[in-house]
């Protein structure tokens, strides 16, 4: 039987060396703009560059303190402040946390209430204020997705907001903004993007549109991640990685992800393991688990990347890539204890990402995957 599917995307993408001067023309409907960013981005001097294009009457403020793992209290506080300032347009300059925070702030600013009111599908029922996303890492792909994940400060669980209305109106991909990213972050965010692309490609919800984007993202990461880790100033490698990350973002926005993300979400929520790092360690083990169910597609990837002839060769390449870019290859190396894994497995099988994994997964099976990743 032929598969029915829907493919949707809405964000306009501008790619270029220096697009800052184009920013004012993107906000013709907005009177009061506000910029969200984080300390690291400000210290790298990237904020000034963006500000140079805006005059004071248009920009009413900047928050440069978005936390690495943004939470409900932060979002609700910023949204209340911005309502008083009558903000009607947002710029998110940063990595996934900054962009997700901007999506969530935009939601509360426009529609009011608390983040808990908006969990799940179909609960956001109208457009938000214009949002421009300028990623400074090549990883989360959040600039292209309808998702925002925010931690609930009380329960420590992640709140997932899902709606096409959350998607940024415009994503500006400026490779020069990513050249100051240190090798370790380049490596882990790059592995997050690779995980999006591979999990989207083998997902039960994949379709020919998402496949095309995922394959190109994987190829670009294969060709460029090691180069960018070795030499952060390699602008060509940075360019390709930023494009790959956005392509992977559109792919998984439509096809969703799988068991690797389910486990990474649990490790992030319970043990604060950085998302890209968790994905990097877990990806070869998740693929091994999916080997039979996704064999044809994994083999296709091995052949098209020229890394081998079998699905197993893809698993070996992913493992070797993580190792060659200097990331830990086992959960043990992160200081995690074996006794913590059952609770992680329990949370992972309840995570939404598990539903589109090509092989069904229960508690015991996921625990076995986690144990394999523990030993590396
Ligand atoms: Fe991810």
Per-residue pLDDT tens digits of the chain, which is 376 residues long: 678 999 999 999 999 988 999 999 999 999 999 999 999 999 999 998 888 888 777 899 999 999 988 899 999 999 999 999 999 999 999 999 999 999 999 999 999 999 999 988 889 999 999 999 999 999 999 999 999 999 888 887 788 899 999 999 999 999 999 999 999 999 999 999 999 999 999 999 999 999 999 999 999 999 999 999 999 999 999 999 999 999 999 999 999 999 999 999 999 988 989 999 999 999 999 999 999 999 999 999 999 999 999 999 999 999 999 999 999 999 999 999 999 999 999 999 999 999 999 999 999 999 999 999 999 9
Q: How remote is the CA of residue 261 from the centroid of ligand 1, in Å?
A: 6
Look at residues 346, 196, 348 and name the one whose alpha carbon lies nearest to residue 266: 348
Rounded CA-CA distance 97/345 in Å is 24
SS3 sequence, the chain? CCCCCCCCCCCEEEECCCCHHHHHHHCCCCCCEEEECCHHHHHCCHHHHHHCCCCCCCEEEEECCCCCCCEHHHHHHHHHHHHHCCCCEEEEEECHHHHHHHHHHHHHHHHCCCHHHHCECCCCCCCCCCEEEEECCCCCCHHHCCEEEEECCCCCCEEEEECHHHCCCEEEECHHHHCCCCHHHHHHHHHHHHHHHHHHHHCCCCCHHHHHHHHHHHHHHHHHHHHHHHCCCCHHHHHHHHHHHHHHHHHHHHHCCCHHHHHHHHHHHHHCCCHHHHHHHHHHHHHHHCCCCCHHHHHHHHHHHCCCCCHHHHHHHHHHHHHHCCCCCCCHHHCCCHHHHHHHHHHHHHCHHHHHCCCCCCHHHHHHHHHHHHHC
Q: How remote is the CA of residue 249 from the centroid of ligand 1, in Å?
A: 9
Q: How remote is the CA of residue 141 from the centroid of ligand 1, in Å?
A: 8
Cα 320 off chain centre by: 22
Q: How remote is the CA of residue 254 from the centroid of ligand 1, in Å?
A: 14
Q: How remote is the CA of residue 248 from the centroid of ligand 1, in Å?
A: 10
Domains of the chain: 12-177 (3.40.50.1970), 181-375 (1.20.1090.10)
With contact defined as beta carbons under 8 Å apart, do 118 and 161 qualify? yes
Q: b/e for 258-287, b at 16 or more Cβ within 10 A? A: bbbbbbbbbbbbbbebbbbbbbbbbbbbbb
pLDDT for the residue numbered 206 = 97
Q: How remote is the CA of residue 53 from the centroid of ligand 1, in Å?
A: 32
Q: How remote is the CA of residue 21 from the centroid of ligand 1, in Å?
A: 31
Q: How remote is the CA of residue 257 from the centroid of ligand 1, in Å?
A: 8
Pairing, β 158-162 against β 147-151: antiparallel
Q: How remote is the CA of residue 7 from the centroid of ligand 1, in Å?
A: 20
Task: Give the Cα-Cα-Cα angle 200, 201, 206 (nearest 5 degrees).
Answer: 75
Q: How remote is the CA of residue 55 from the centroid of ligand 1, in Å?
A: 35
Residue found under tokens 């500006």? 172
Q: How remote is the CA of residue 278 from the centroid of ligand 1, in Å?
A: 9
Q: How remote is the CA of residue 275 from the centroid of ligand 1, in Å?
A: 7
pLDDT for the residue numbered 74 = 96
Q: How remote is the CA of residue 89 from the centroid of ligand 1, in Å?
A: 26
Q: How remote is the CA of residue 24 from the centroid of ligand 1, in Å?
A: 31
Q: How remote is the CA of residue 258 from the centroid of ligand 1, in Å?
A: 10
Q: How remote is the CA of residue 189 from the centroid of ligand 1, in Å?
A: 9
Q: How remote is the CA of residue 109 from the centroid of ligand 1, in Å?
A: 26
Model confidence, pTM: 0.96
Rounded CA-CA distance 321/299 in Å is 17
Q: How remote is the CA of residue 192 from the centroid of ligand 1, in Å?
A: 5
Look at residues 344, 333, 336 and name the one whose alpha carbon lies nearest to residue 367: 344
pLDDT for the residue numbered 1 = 65
Q: How remote is the CA of residue 23 from the centroid of ligand 1, in Å?
A: 28
pLDDT for the residue numbered 208 = 97
Q: How remote is the CA of residue 345 from the centroid of ligand 1, in Å?
A: 18
Q: How remote is the CA of residue 127 from the centroid of ligand 1, in Å?
A: 25
Q: How remote is the CA of residue 54 from the centroid of ligand 1, in Å?
A: 32
Rounded CA-CA distance 150/365 in Å is 28
Rounded CA-CA distance 103/98 in Å is 9
């Amino acid at each position: 039987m032929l598969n029915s599917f829907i493919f949707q995307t809405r964000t306009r993408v501008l790619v270029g060396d220096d697009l800052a001067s184009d920013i004012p023309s993107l906000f013709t409907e907005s009177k009061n703009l506000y910029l969200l960013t984080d300390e690291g981005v400000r210290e790298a001097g990237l904020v000034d560059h963006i500000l140079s294009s805006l005059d004071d009457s248009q920009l009413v403020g900047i928050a440069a303190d978005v936390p690495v793992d943004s939470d409900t209290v932060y979002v609700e506080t910023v949204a209340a402040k911005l309502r008083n300032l009558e903000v009607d347009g947002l710029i998110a300059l940063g990595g996934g946390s900054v962009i997700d925070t901007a999506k969530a702030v935009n939601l509360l600013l426009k529609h009011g209430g608390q983040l808990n009111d908006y969990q799940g599908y179909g609960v956001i029922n109208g457009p938000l204020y214009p949002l421009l996303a300028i990623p400074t890492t090549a990883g989360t792909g959040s600039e292209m997705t309808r998702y925002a994940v925010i931690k609930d400060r009380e329960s420590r669980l992640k709140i997932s907001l899902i709606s096409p209305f959350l998607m940024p109106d415009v994503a500006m991909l400026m490779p020069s903004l990513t050249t100051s990213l240190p090798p370790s972050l380049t490596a882990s965010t790059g592995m997050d993007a690779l995980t999006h692309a591979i999990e989207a490609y083998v997902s039960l919800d994949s379709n020919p549109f998402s496949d095309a984007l995922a394959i190109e993202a994987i190829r670009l990461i294969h060709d460029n991640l090691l180069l960018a880790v070795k030499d952060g100033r390699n602008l060509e490698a940075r360019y390709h990685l930023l494009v790959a990350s956005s392509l992977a973002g559109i792919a998984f926005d439509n096809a969703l992800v799988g068991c690797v993300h389910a486990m990474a979400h649990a490790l992030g929520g319970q043990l604060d393991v950085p998302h890209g790092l968790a994905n990097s360690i877990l990806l070869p083990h998740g693929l091994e688990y999916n080997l039979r169910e996704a064999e044809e597609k994994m083999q296709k990837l091995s052949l098209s990347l020229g890394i081998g002839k079998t699905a197993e060769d893809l698993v070996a390449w992913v493992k070797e890539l993580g190792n060659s870019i200097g990331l830990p290859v086992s959960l043990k190396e992160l200081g995690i204890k074996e006794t913590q894994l059952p609770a992680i497995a329990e949370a992972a099988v309840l995570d939404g990402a598990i539903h589109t994994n090509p092989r069904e997964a229960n508690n015991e099976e996921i625990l076995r995957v986690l144990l394999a990743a523990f030993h590396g």
